[in-house]
Amino acid sequence: MRLAVTATLAALGLAAAAPLALADPAPAAAPAAAPAPAAAPHQCFRINDWNGWRAPDAKTLYIRVGVRDIWKIGLAHECTMLKSPSTHLVTRVRGSDEVCAPIDLDLSVQDSGGFNEGCFIDSIRLLTPAEAAALDPKNRP
């Protein structure tokens, strides 16, 4: 009896699987997604390579790094003392001496009387050679 039940179950299993075998094959795998675009190179500079600065307005600062690179620093709000005569920048680096992002640099302006104004950095990026060449000479550090 046991043999008959086993044979019947086996026959039913094959009968149930037969329609599946005749059905459409499994859908083809979706084509592979296009590779992600290459990330922009990690751009950083060392604070010791900073060679000068100019501020065309109270929210923008251009700095020269090394001999040829010019970086643009965008400020979150106006830093009015940037345009005042006899001011200088006070910089403090957070972490290593490499600046890669706004959080890496603490910037303020100090006048000859010792008054400080904090300048909160919103963005920082290396200008392309074309952008650097297009700068007004009076704004070029």
Asked whether the predicted pLDDT for residue 30 surpasses 80, the reply is: no
Domain range annotation of the chain: 45-139
Rounded to two decimals, what is the model's pTM? Answer: 0.68
pLDDT band at residue 16 using 50, 70 and 90 as cut-offs: very low
Predicted confidence at residue 29, as pLDDT, reads 53
pLDDT at 32: 55
* Count of CA atoms in the C-beta half-sphere (13 A) of 121: 22
pLDDT band at residue 136, thresholds of 50, 70 and 90?
A: very high
Average pLDDT across the chain, whole number: 79
Positive/negative CA dihedral, 121, 123, 125, 128 = negative
